[in-house]
Each structure stands twice: as C-alpha cells, then as structure tokens.
Homo-oligomer: A and B are copies of this chain.
Amino acid sequence: MRILVANANTTEAITGLCAAAARAAASPGTEILPATPRFGPAVISSRAENIVAGHALLELLATHAGQVDAVLLAVSHDTALEAARQIMPCPVVGMTEAACLTACLAGGRFGLVTFGGTETYRERIAQHGLSVRLVGLTGIDATPQDAVRDPEDVARRLQSAIARLATEGADSVVLGGAALAGMAPKLQPHSPVPLLDGIACGVRLLEMLVALGLPKPGLGSFAAPRGREVGGVDPALAALFRGG
C-alpha cells in the first residue's frame, strides 16, 4: 500500500518530519511517499495562507492521482480536505481530523494543544461536527522554532496544558500542528491521558479505509467531478476536473 503524505506548505523539513512519523506508524508493507507543494506559504499560519495552500495541495495531489492508494494531509488545518476527498480516486484523511476521530474512540471528550492561535482549530473541529466532544483548546505561547531552541521548556508548557485539559474533563489530548508530529512518544510518559498524533492516527485510518475498499459516492457533493472546465491550472489538476 502506498500512502502519499502531502504537506500543504513548502517547507521540506516539515514534510520530512511528517514522513518520518508516518513511517514509524505504518504497518509493514505500507510505503510512505512524502510530497511538498510547488508553491504557497512556507508555513501556514493564517486563513489566507490556508486558501493558497489549498490550491497548491490539490495540484500536488492531482499529480499523484492514480499512483497512490491513499492520501494523508500532513497539515494540521486539514487544508482543502473535503475538496481533496471529492477529487481524488482514493481515500483522503486529514491529520487533525484523524486525531479527533481517534480521540472519540479513546474516551468521552478531548482537548487540543498547539502553538499559537486556536480559533481556526475550533472552527475546523466544528466543521467536523465534533464540537460537543471538545473540552477546550490551548495555544501555548511558543513557536515551533522555540521547540527547536529550548525543547525542554516547550515540553514543560505542553505538559502543563495537557494536564489542565485533563483536569477540565479531557480523556485524551490531540497534538495539533505538524510541528508536533512525532512528539507524542516523548510527551506521553508524563501525561495523565493518551496523546493523539495526527500523523500516526491518519496513517492507520488510511490503512483501514483502503482495506474496507469503500466506493466513492456516486452522487452528492463528494462525487468525483466530471466535465468541469478549470483553466490556468496544472494539467494534472485540470484533468481531474474533467474526469472520465
């Protein structure tokens, strides 16, 4: 099984980080293919960057359509997730979506920790329909760069946020943000509740979906496009829109 691990920003190092986490989580026999978009934001940190990244991501996926068995969006905003699910001929899962759904299997309500702002995560979880299972979101006052400079300090802040969310009722905590990919093993031993890494959850959920072999919807808003004209975009993407 070939899983495309598609970053939505152009920072190769993050793609590499996510691909490593994906490989660590994958079953034997699952091949991880990392991919980075051709254009767009270096790091997605706002609503507008996320829109540009959405296009870049769809283009990236289109160039792999038919060559992979599944796609994991290695971007914590689940950028363009529904569009990718519509347009690709294989299962597509977002890393935050994956972590949140897995959290639903690990207890009752969950929390989320990330770097910086949380409003867009709150909205995304609402779009996933999971607001009632969300205890709260905590954005720690640090950047991914801080995590490199002073990992101990950042780990302490994360632990503290996790512990508080658990006290407030979270039975598990989602690690939000590709920059946290792979940190679960380090943080878990000191956490009172299970921690969910979106890359690990996503890889395993995709293996499940590929095994189930569900067909695509034949009607409705997730049916594959057919005969749509989209101009000025990458030929592979234009071809997907034309379908057939």
Q: Taking A104-B101, A127-B123 as contacts, is the C-beta distance between A229 and B41 under 8 angstroms?
A: yes
A231 is an interface residue with CB less than 8 A from chain B? yes
A86 at interface, CB cutoff 8 A: yes
Known: A83-B47, A215-B188, A225-B48. A204 touches B208 (CB 8 A): yes
Q: How far is the CA of A107 from the CA of B223 in the complex (A)?
A: 9
Contact, CB under 8 Å: A216 / B194: yes
Interface bits A226-244 vs B (CB < 8 Å: 1, else 0): 0011111100010011000
- Give the distance to chain B from A85, nearest Cβ to Cβ, in Å: 7
> Within 8 Å CB of A50, what residues of B?
83
Give the contact stretch, choosing among A14-22, A51-59, A153-161. Answer: A51-59
- The CA of A207 and the CA of B67, in the complex, are separated in Å by 25
Least CB separation from A9: chain B residue: B230
Interface size on A, residues (CB 8 A): 91
- Judged by a CB distance under 8 angstroms, whether A166 is at the interface is yes
- Distance in Å from the Cβ of A68 to the closest Cβ of chain B? 17
Contact B40 A205 (CB under 8 A): no
Considering only residues 61-116 of chain A, those with a C-beta below 8 Å from chain B are 80, 82-87, 91, 93, 97, 101-102, 104-109
Q: Say which residue of B47, B167, B200 sits within 8 Å of A86 (CB atoms).
A: B47
CB nearest to A57 among chain B residues: B51
**Chain B residues whose CB sits within 8 angstroms of the CB of A91 once the complex forms:** 105
Tell me which residues across on chain B come within 8 A of A208, comparing CB atoms. 102, 201, 204-205, 207-208
Is A38 positioned at the interface, with any CB of B under 8 Å from its CB? yes
A172 CB contacts on chain B under 8 angstroms: 214, 217
**Which of A107, A109, A166, A205 has the most chain B CB within a 10 Å cutoff?**
A107
Residues of B within 8 A of A130 (CB): 129-130
The reply to whether the CB of A49 lies closer than 8 angstroms to some CB of chain B is yes
Which of A108, A129, A200, A219 neighbours the largest number of chain B CB atoms within 10 Å of its CB?
A108
Q: Are B83 and A171 in touch, CB under 8 angstroms?
A: no
A45 interface contact, C-beta 8 A: yes
User: What are 21 A-B interface contacts by the 8 Å CB criterion?
Assistant: A10-B232, A39-B232, A46-B221, A48-B225, A48-B240, A51-B55, A51-B83, A52-B55, A106-B209, A108-B220, A108-B221, A117-B221, A129-B129, A166-B219, A166-B220, A167-B219, A169-B220, A193-B220, A194-B215, A194-B217, A208-B208
